[in-house]
Structure 1
Amino acid sequence: MRSYLLAAAAAALLPVAALFPVAAQAQIAPDFAGVRVSTLGVGAEFGLKLNDHFTVRAIGNGANFGYHDTTDDGIRYDGDLKLASYGAQVDYRFAANGPLYVTAGAYKNDNKVQATGRYTGNVIVGGIPLTPAQVGVLTARAKFDDTVPYLGLGARWPVGHLEFNLEAGAYFQGRPRVTLTSDSIYANDPNVQTAIENERASLENDIKDFKTYPALTLGLRYKF
């Protein structure tokens, strides 16, 4: 699925590449400043107009969400999904006064998941039965690539000095990397280490689909 999306986005961006020499010679002027709500969080953006077709945007997003999940083994994980991203996008507008545009960009990605695993009584961790004393409190952390590409398609509708913006795209943040640690005094026991590693691999597999994160954005801008 990801390869098809990348191929389609690359084809859509061909007109952008062809017109970059024109954009490079353009007179840069402020275009808009706005706020946005998206699956990447709440944020703000500032746009610079290069010409009738090209706009460059600086964008920041962020949000925190509570995370609760109970595994098949009976371990309850409570934590936070922390979204934070900062970057820039280049928009190519198909028609000078038309609403549709294609966009590409790159972001500093600080999206992460932090959670604590708790349970009552004996528990099976990574397929291995353990006592509460052997397991201790589990701390899970998941991170993604630090710098990630973004591709999208959007539309913008001006209303006087205001402008509404709707955009859908894909944020390619890479395969998650999960760490799982225990505060148990038995954490160095080989059986406990094997159980925790099996559990870590299972958690990593559970969130692997987040490597391609869908981005849907609704924005409100003030036009200069």
Structure 2
Amino acid sequence: MQKVILLTGLLLLSFFSSAQTTEAGLGVSSLGAHIVFTNQMNDQFGLRLQLNGYSGSYEFKENGLTYEGDLKLGTVGVTMDWHPWENDFFVAMGAFYNGNQLDARAKSQNGVITINGTAYTTDQIGNLESEMKFGDVSPYLGAGFMGKIGQSDFYYGVDLGVLYQGEPDISLKTSSGSSITGLSENLAAEQKRVEDELSSFRWYPVLTLSLHYSF
């Protein structure tokens, strides 16, 4: 969190110190609630500072196990928007600090949790807990439209792109039973299987809708 606050402060200082035309906006995206600052440098190029966040519960199944998780999305990014024809259409390239994370706990079936084909009772191993994280920096590529609404000081923004998060870093652990013979090997095999199944998360689609005000 301290990294995010410091990075955001430095980027805002840079934006406002070099601003020619600046817009501030709010919106929604597949990365969560969206705050954006835009510095339009000329008719072809602009810079965008974006802050996204979301937190909520999430239930999913992997390899026959049902997990209850807490999903936390948190990203801060800067993109360069290129308007090749000096109109509303733009191509965006940039990078995000990626704090996206999923913490989950497997639900037992009648007090039994099966790990890599071996059944364990919750009395033996307690809870099976999972954590999914990504690398700190994620490149972004997208395209969209951003333009003035009539003769007002308001602008609309629509952006569709993809965030490359890299392979997810997944950990599995039990809250007890570490001395049980074969448990660590089964956990490692289960973790590898889950990593393979969730490898598609390295590409994260991003759709952003926002409303900006120019000042």
Q: TM-score, normalised by structure 2?
A: 0.85
| Stretch moving more, 75-84 or 39-48 | 75-84
Instruction: Indicate the SS of the match to 1:205.
Output: helix
Aligned 8 A contact 2:134 2:165 in 1:
yes
How far apart are the structure 1 equivalents of 2:37 and 2:93?
16
What pairs with 1:27-176 in structure 2 (closer than 5 Å)?
28-73=19-64, 75-96=65-86, 98-119=87-108, 120-159=110-149, 160-176=152-168
| Stretch moving more, 186-195 or 30-39 | 186-195
How far apart are the structure 1 equivalents of 2:189 and 2:74?
29
Which ranges of structure 1 fall in alignment gaps of 5 or more residues?
Answer: 1-26
Q: Could you tell me how far 1:187 is from its partner in structure 2?
A: 1.5
Q: Could you tell me how far 1:71 is from its partner in structure 2?
A: 4.1
Q: Could you tell me how far 1:193 is from its partner in structure 2?
A: 1.2
Change (3 A) 1:43 1:223: same
Aligned 8 A contact 2:63 2:194 in 1:
no
| Stretch moving more, 31-40 or 129-138 | 129-138
Runs (4 or more) in structure 1 with deviation over 6 Å come to none
Q: TM-score, normalised by structure 1?
A: 0.81
Instruction: Indicate the SS of the match to 1:190.
Output: coil
How far apart are the structure 1 equivalents of 2:134 and 2:28?
22
Q: Could you tell me how far 1:28 is from its partner in structure 2?
A: 4.2
Residue 194 (structure 1) aligned to one of 175, 185, 188: 185
How far apart are the structure 1 equivalents of 2:147 and 2:175?
54
Aligned 8 A contact 1:148 1:171 in 2:
yes
Deviations along 1:59-114, one digit per CA (max 9) or x if unpaired, are 100001311124454x3311111100002111011223x11000111111000110
Aligned 8 A contact 1:47 1:57 in 2:
yes
Identity of aligned residues (%): 30
How far apart are the structure 1 equivalents of 2:58 and 2:197?
14
How far apart are the structure 1 equivalents of 2:130 and 2:115?
13
